[in-house]
Amino acid sequence: MNYEPPSGRSIEPAATSRFDGVDLLRGLSIIAVVLLHAQIRLLFSYDVSIQPLLPRELMHVLFWQGSNGVTVFFAISGFLITFTSLRRFGSLARMRAAAFYRIRFARIAPLLLLLLAVLSLLHLIHADGFRIKPSCGTLPEALFAALTFRINWFEAVHGFLPANWDVMWSLSVEEMFYLFFPLVCLALLRMRRGMLLFIPVLLIFVGMGPFARTVWTSNEIWRENSYLGGMSGIALGCLTALLAGWMQRTIPRWMTARLQLALQLAGALVMAVIVL
């Protein structure tokens, strides 16, 4: 694929291509997250554990991989955002920040506002499992945290909100990354040899993730849900999209297919090592 548009115009594809491998990863990640939450629900709400029914290793693989599933979601998000931006604008250096923000707003805002309206109503009628505990804060505080993408920080300071609010921590990480993503692209990539700065910045984010999840804080919630801990996966997805774009521009198609297969096998091996 040639990312340089003719006559300096941006590329607006008529249809969005599907990536079978990405769809497969997304499906496996969804299953991992759903199984984790099902196990947590059974364990803490009904004092029921599936552990005695399955071998320990199988139990670990099937029901305790939700955090890895979220990490894969972050990587997929970074890959798709970068790849579609390359296709839409021709290159990241030609990105139009206003258009990028408009597209993100149109994609996120309607459903987010609908969700917050429903959760607010359930809180106000004191529905079981949906009411925010006074010790964790008030409804306006939770709404402000959700709308400013600070649910993860809010919970780290005040404690967990009801589960239906808690799931928005990952959205907070994603949108905070994408708030600055186009600005960094424009600031660095319009410089001469700006890619030599841009790629190290992404690598730094990838490298900081493990430290953010382990040694930089003693707050258990922040270790799991911090910005830097999640942004490492998004940055890795961005780097993967840049690599894919470079391969499509410079490597013959027959060789690209073999390289993609090798990278997929290597990725599967890494995931197997992590899971097991």
pLDDT tens by residue, 175-194: 999 999 999 999 998 888 88
pLDDT digits (tens, 9 = 90+) for 26-55: 888 888 888 888 887 777 777 777 777 778
Confidence of residue 19 (pLDDT cuts 50, 70, 90): confident
pLDDT > 90? residue 11: no
Output the six-digit token pair for 246.
């470079």
pLDDT band at 260 (very low <50, low <70, confident <90, very high): low
* In the chain, % of residues over pLDDT 70: 84
pLDDT band at 243 (very low <50, low <70, confident <90, very high): confident
- Decide which of 218 and 261 is more confident: 218
Please identify which residue in the block is written with the tokens 């979220």. 70
Cα–Cα dist 173/149, whole Å: 7
Work out the number of other CB atoms within 10 angstroms of the CB of residue 136. 17
- Give pTM, 2 decimals: 0.81
Average pLDDT over residues 134-150: 95
Question: Which long-range CB contacts under 8 A does 56-64 form with residues at least 24 apart?
Answer: 57/276, 60/275, 61/275, 61/276, 62/35, 63/35, 63/36, 63/38, 63/39, 64/36, 64/39
- Give the chain's count of helices (H) and strands (E): 12, 0
Angle of helix 195-212 relative to helix 169-189, nearest 10 degrees, comes to 160
- How many other β-carbons are positioned within 10 Å of the β-carbon of residue 3? 18
Q: Is the pLDDT of residue 274 over 60?
A: no
Distances (CA, A) of 148 to 8, 74, 171, 235: 35, 19, 10, 21
pLDDT value of position 9: 42
Label residue 267 by pLDDT band (50, 70, 90). Answer: low
Give the per-residue pLDDT at 10: 41
Q: How far apart are CA 94 and CA 96, in angstroms?
A: 6
Using an 8 Å Cβ cutoff, are 157 and 126 in contact?
A: no
CB of 214 within 8 A of CB of 223? Answer: yes
Look over the chain and give the mean of its residue pLDDT values, rounded to a whole number.
83
Residues 6+ away with beta carbon under 8 Å from 101: 182
Say if residue 270 is exposed, middle or buried (CB neighbours under 10 Å; 0-12, 13-18, 19+). exposed
